[in-house]
Amino acid sequence: MAPLAAMTCAGFSGYALLLTVAPLWAVEGGAGTAGSGLVNGVLLLFTVLTQLLVPRSLERFGWGPVLVAGLVLMGVPGILYGLSDGLAAILGLSALRGVGFGVLTVTGSAAVAALVDPRRRGEAIGVYGLAVAIPNLVLLPAGPWIAETFGFWWVFGLNVLPLVGIPAALRLASTIRPAARHGDAVAPIDADVSVLRLLLRPILLLLAVTLAGGAVITFTPQAVESPSVAAGGLFLMGLAAAVSRWRAGVLADRHGAQRFVVPMVALTGVAMAGVAWGVASTDNGALFLASMLVLGLCYGGLQNLTLLISFAAVSSRHHNRASAWWNIGFDAGTALGSVAVGVIAELTSFTTAFLICGAIAAATLPLALRRTKAHPVD
Q: Is there a domain that residue 265 lies in?
A: yes
Higher-scoring residue by pLDDT: 285, 67: 67
Stretch (H or E) spanning 111: helix 87-115
pLDDT at 195 over 90: no
pLDDT at 375: 53
Q: Give the DSSP per-residue string, 6-61.
A: HHHHHHHHHHHHHHTHHHHHHHHTT--HHHHHHHHHHHHHHHHHHHTTHHHHHHHH
Give the C-alpha separation, 54 to 9, whole Å.
20
pLDDT at 191: 62
Cα 363 → chain centroid: 21
Q: Is there a domain that residue 374 lies in?
A: no
pLDDT at 378: 44
Q: Which of 135, 128, 109 is nearest to 15 (CA)?
A: 135
pLDDT at 43 over 80: yes
Q: Is there a domain that residue 378 lies in?
A: no
What percent of the chain shows pLDDT beyond 70?
94
Q: Is there a domain that residue 292 lies in?
A: yes
- Give the lowest-confidence range in 83-87, 118-122, 220-224: 118-122
Q: Domain with 45 in it: what CATH number?
A: 1.20.1250.20
pLDDT band for 372, please (50, 70, 90 cuts): low
Q: Is there a domain that residue 90 lies in?
A: yes
Q: Which of 152, 128, 177, 115 is nearest to 28 (CA)?
A: 152
pLDDT band for 373, please (50, 70, 90 cuts): low
Contact 18, 155 (CB under 8 A): yes
The structural domain count of the chain equals: 1
Q: Is there a domain that residue 376 lies in?
A: no
Q: Is there a domain that residue 375 lies in?
A: no
Domain range for 363 is: 2-369
Burial class (CB in 10 A: 0-12, 13-18, 19+), 167: middle
pLDDT at 315 over 90: no
Whole-number average pLDDT of the chain: 86
- Give the lowest-confidence range in 16-25, 93-102, 308-317, 352-361: 308-317
- Give the lowest-confidence range in 151-165, 170-184, 247-261, 266-280: 170-184
Q: Report the phi/psi class of residue 181: left, alpha or beta, with left for phi > 0 and alpha for psi in -120 to 50.
A: beta
- Report how many helices (DSSP H) and strands (DSSP E) the chain contains, helices first: 17, 0
How does pLDDT run across 96-154, given as a tens digit for each residue? 999 999 999 889 888 887 787 777 777 788 888 888 888 887 888 789 889 989 999 99
Q: Is 257 helix (H, G, I), strand (E, B) or coil?
A: coil
